[in-house]
Amino acid sequence: MASLKDVAKLASVSLMTVSRAINNPEKLNKETYKRVKEAIEQLNYVPDLSARKIRGDHSGPHAIGVLALETATTPFSVELLQAIERTAQQHGWNTFIVNLFDDKDANHAINTLLSYRPNGIIYTTMGLRKVELPERLLGKNVVLANCISDSEQLACYIPDDYSGQYQAMQQVINKGYQKPLCIYLSEHTLAGSIRRQAAEQAWLDAGKNLDDLISYHTSTSQGNLAQEYMMTVEILKQHCAKKPEFDVLICGNDRIAFVAYQYLLSNGFHIPNDIAVLGYDNMVGTGELFYPPLTTVQLPHYEIGEQAALHIITGQTQKTVTQVASAFLQRQSL
């Protein structure tokens, strides 16, 4: 890898001149700057930003380090990472992402992240969850995105699942549906318990009886898609054996809705005339696959990433939980 000395030698200038060309090009005459720039391009020289920070030189771009627990390895919340990177670029900041596949042994990933001396760290997760902040991150400038923690008081940006589900259930009620079948996410997940509470409260607030709701939770295993699929099919079989016992299906997420579409349509049911379907998440890459288009709730992953990045970039100091609005998306399945 080319060094600063290699650039200076090729351009026939001093090390100080190369440094000025990188950090303060306006201080050089055009001809000198042109020679240095051509040497940099020819050698593919990359400035060592981490070395600058170790020396206490803050002239280079600021950086956000992202510790991504499963966030970058699934299609479900990748928008969160895109938002962080785009927001940083718009403000002249750099980002680097360190993937974490298991939060039980995060030391190597955290050591890698800290070695770059980031100005701030965003800890993200796939799926809203409570995390235990690794010890090495305690006391650092950390912002949580799509997760919360009891480890210490931190700024957290999470989806407003309660309001999102409450508003969606209000729409179900306003459209006159009387017999919902609800297949929520696992009751051991934050989203599963929060969304059920919201749906049931909306039902009660409309003066209805909870006994009219048929409610289930899916697998307790985080991310077990096969088990989630099988449970959804078994529940639908039980309540669609002859005549449907429900007029609207409330799904814990769009994956459950996708399975339900396959089952209902293959068994001759028309959506929404026979059975209406409500999803949740507006999952990236699947919305356009539903026919008719799925009514759902938008998980605000992009907004969460954007606000978490801005928290660090603008030097915000509040350490509170911020719930980001989850918008109801009316389409043809409801």
Q: Tell me, what's the pLDDT at 86? A: 95
Distance CA 161, CA 165 (A): 6
Q: Tell me, what's the pLDDT at 111? A: 80
For 63-160+301-326, CATH gives 3.40.50.2300
Those residues whose C-beta lies under 8 Å from the C-beta of residue 268, and which sit 6 or more positions away, are none
Q: Tell me, what's the pLDDT at 214? A: 95
- Hey, where are the domains in the chain? 4-47, 63-160+301-326, 161-297
| Pairing of the two strands 63-69 and 94-100 | parallel
pLDDT in tens, 207-224: 999 999 999 998 765 556
pLDDT in tens, 302-330: 999 999 999 999 999 999 999 999 999 99
Q: Tell me, what's the pLDDT at 240? A: 87
The number of angstroms, rounded, from the C-alpha of 119 to the middle of its chain's C-alpha atoms is 21
CB-based burial, 55-65: b 16+ in 10 Å, e otherwise: eeeeebebbbb
Q: 63-160+301-326 and 161-297 share one CATH topology?
A: yes
Mean pLDDT of the chain: 87
Q: Which CATH architecture has domain 4-47?
A: Orthogonal Bundle (1.10)
Class of the CATH domain delimited by 161-297? alpha beta
Strand order in the sheet with 248-251: 214-217, 180-184, 248-251, 276-278
Mean pLDDT of 85-98: 92
Mean pLDDT of 85-104: 85
pLDDT in tens, 122-173: 999 888 999 888 888 888 899 999 999 988 899 999 999 999 999 999 999 9
Mean pLDDT of 56-70: 75
Q: What 3-state class would DSSP assign to 259? A: helix
Give CA separation, 39 vs 13, 36, 169, in Å: 11, 5, 63
DSSP category for residue 219: -
